[in-house]
């Protein structure tokens, strides 16, 4: 014969489980984070809310086919609207850190960090590898953005602004993105440069995206090598975030040069979304130097067709090259 108390206890447990499964609020999950997840942060400095978005494991971004473009669906319009009153003046970044996952072939303290471009036509800084101790400081802050957001989320009710992939936090909180990024936009002084990209005040009407390039940095010995380019993120004026996979663009070849009076037109094939910049030198001695040392001319963004850049040249001789970049 079954014990009556046990029968009542089992019945009570069954009723509790049934109530849990029938209540959507109780079933909902709060923000979650796993080591080596790429995490995006958005804020208006001095604003009311930070937005932290988990984009998933960085390995899935490294594994994309070159030149493939994906839309980041974890960034929802609802959370973006709730966090930010406008897309103008928004500071944002994306990063990941390897702190203890044995399934990655990279050494501990490897980090993935975005480098902001001043505008879509101008390349940003190329981050460099560093010692394990140096990268470890930034890795701790990067990992902390995701981890602390999950700690904060566990103490808040689940809902539209606290989901498994995105959460709003008060910027003054100890768990906030702003706290771990710092006012100097460099993970509170632990990183080699400014990582946040800030949209201009006319961003919503400008039509051009805000672009940041993602680099992987690994601990190494001096001298430090440049980071490996993984691809780039575009934060668009409609609030949509996209990722375009690397590797760095292939050089292009000038296909035609024509002159009409003092206007020189240089034509060349382009690849969609790749930036191209005209470089020129005024003497043959420059041919023995890197093209990156030549004078900068005009620039454009490729669309897959043959395009042209122009230069006004009244000198007797000028040497031209076209530089491809992300």
230 and 292 share one domain: no
Query: If pLDDT is split at 50, 70 and 90, which confidence band does 77 have?
Result: very high
What pLDDT score does 249 carry? 79
User: Hey, which residues does 162 pair with through a beta bridge?
Assistant: 159, 167
What's the length of the chain? 326
Strand pairing class (263-269; 111-116): unpaired
Which of 209, 231, 215, 227 minimizes the C-alpha distance to 67? 231
Indicate left, alpha or beta for 273 from its phi (over 0: left) and psi (-120 to 50: alpha).
left
Query: If pLDDT is split at 50, 70 and 90, which confidence band does 289 have?
Result: confident
* pLDDT single digits (tens) 189-248: 999 999 999 999 999 888 889 999 999 999 987 778 899 999 999 999 999 999 999 877
Task: Determine, yes or no, domain membership for 85.
Answer: yes
Is pLDDT above 70 for 14? no
Task: Determine, yes or no, domain membership for 17.
Answer: no
Task: Determine, yes or no, domain membership for 269.
Answer: yes
313 and 230 share one domain: no
Task: Determine, yes or no, domain membership for 131.
Answer: yes
Query: If pLDDT is split at 50, 70 and 90, which confidence band does 120 have?
Result: confident
145 and 229 share one domain: yes
CB atoms within 10 A of CB 308: 16
51 and 188 share one domain: yes
Which of 269, 271, 84 minimizes the C-alpha distance to 161? 84
d(CA 197, CA 94): 10
Radius of gyration of the chain (CA): 25
Which of 190, 222, 245 lies at the terminal end of a domain, its last residue? 245
Which of 283, 282, 259, 278 minimizes the C-alpha distance to 268? 278
What pLDDT score does 50 carry? 98
Task: Determine, yes or no, domain membership for 222.
Answer: yes
Strand pairing class (228-235; 210-217): antiparallel
What pLDDT score does 263 carry? 92
d(CA 48, CA 211): 24
* pLDDT single digits (tens) 139-188: 999 999 999 999 999 999 999 999 999 999 999 999 999 999 999 999 99
User: Hey, which residues does 214 pair with through a beta bridge?
Assistant: 114, 231
Query: Residues of the chain with pLDDT > 90: what percent?
Result: 72
Tell me the mean pLDDT in the region 75-99.
97
Structurally, how many domains does the chain consist of? 2
User: Hey, which residues does 267 pair with through a beta bridge?
Assistant: 256, 308
Task: Determine, yes or no, domain membership for 14.
Answer: no
Is pLDDT above 70 for 20? no
* Neighbouring residues of 229: CB distance < 8 A, sequence distance ≥ 6: 126, 213, 214, 215, 246, 247, 248, 326
d(CA 186, CA 179): 11
Query: If pLDDT is split at 50, 70 and 90, which confidence band does 62 have?
Result: very high
Task: Determine, yes or no, domain membership for 5.
Answer: no
219 and 280 share one domain: no
122 and 187 share one domain: yes
78 and 213 share one domain: yes
What pLDDT score does 67 carry? 85
264 and 231 share one domain: no
Tell me the mean pLDDT in the region 25-46.
88
d(CA 173, CA 185): 17
**Range of the structural domain that residue 261 is part of:** 256-325
Q: For the chain, where are the alpha helices, taking DSSP H only?
A: 4-22, 24-27, 58-62, 77-83, 132-154, 177-181, 203-206
d(CA 96, CA 111): 6
Q: Which residue has the higher pLDDT, 118 or 313?
A: 118
* pLDDT single digits (tens) 44-60: 999 999 999 999 999 99
289 and 308 share one domain: yes
Paired tokens of 308: 């042209």
d(CA 41, CA 52): 5
126 and 38 share one domain: yes
126 and 95 share one domain: yes
What pLDDT score does 6 carry? 36
Task: Determine, yes or no, domain membership for 7.
Answer: no
Tell me the mean pLDDT in the region 31-43.
97
Mean pLDDT of the chain: 89
Tell me the mean pLDDT in the region 251-257.
92
275 and 162 share one domain: no
Q: Which residue has the higher pLDDT, 313 or 40?
A: 40
What pLDDT score does 233 carry? 97
């Amino acid at each position: 014969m079954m014990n009556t108390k046990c029968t009542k206890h089992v019945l009570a447990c069954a009723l509790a489980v049934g109530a849990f499964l029938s209540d959507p609020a109780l079933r909902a999950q709060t923000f979650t984070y796993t080591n080596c997840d790429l995490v995006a942060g958005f804020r208006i400095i001095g604003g009311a809310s930070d937005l932290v978005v988990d984009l998933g494991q960085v390995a899935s971004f490294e594994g994309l086919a070159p030149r493939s473009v994906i839309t980041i669906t974890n960034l929802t319009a609802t959370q973006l609207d709730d966090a930010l009153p406008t897309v103008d003046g928004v500071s944002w970044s994306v990063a990941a850190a390897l702190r203890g996952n044995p399934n990655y072939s990279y050494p501990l303290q490897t980090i993935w960090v975005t480098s902001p471009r001043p505008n879509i036509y101008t390349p940003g800084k190329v981050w460099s590898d560093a010692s394990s101790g140096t990268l470890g400081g930034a890795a701790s802050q990067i990992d902390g953005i995701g981890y602390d957001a999950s700690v904060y989320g566990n103490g808040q009710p689940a809902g539209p602004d606290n989901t498994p992939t995105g959460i709003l936090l008060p910027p003054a909180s100890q768990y906030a993105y702003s706290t771990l990024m710092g006012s100097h936009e460099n993970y509170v002084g632990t990183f080699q440069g400014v990582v946040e990209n800030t949209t201009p005040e006319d961003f919503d009407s400008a039509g051009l995206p805000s672009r940041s390039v993602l680099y992987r940095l690994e601990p190494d010995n001096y001298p430090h090598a440049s980071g490996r380019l993984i691809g780039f993120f575009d934060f668009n004026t409609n609030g949509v975030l996209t990722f375009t996979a690397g590797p760095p663009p292939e050089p292009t070849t000038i296909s035609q040069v024509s002159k009409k009076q003092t206007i020189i037109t240089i034509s060349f094939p382009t690849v969609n979304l790749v930036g191209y910049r005209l470089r020129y030198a005024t003497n043959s001695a420059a041919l023995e130097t890197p093209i990156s040392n030549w004078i900068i001319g005009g620039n454009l963004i490729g669309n897959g067709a043959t395009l042209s850049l122009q230069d006004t040249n009244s000198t007797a001789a000028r040497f031209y090259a076209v530089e491809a970049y992300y």
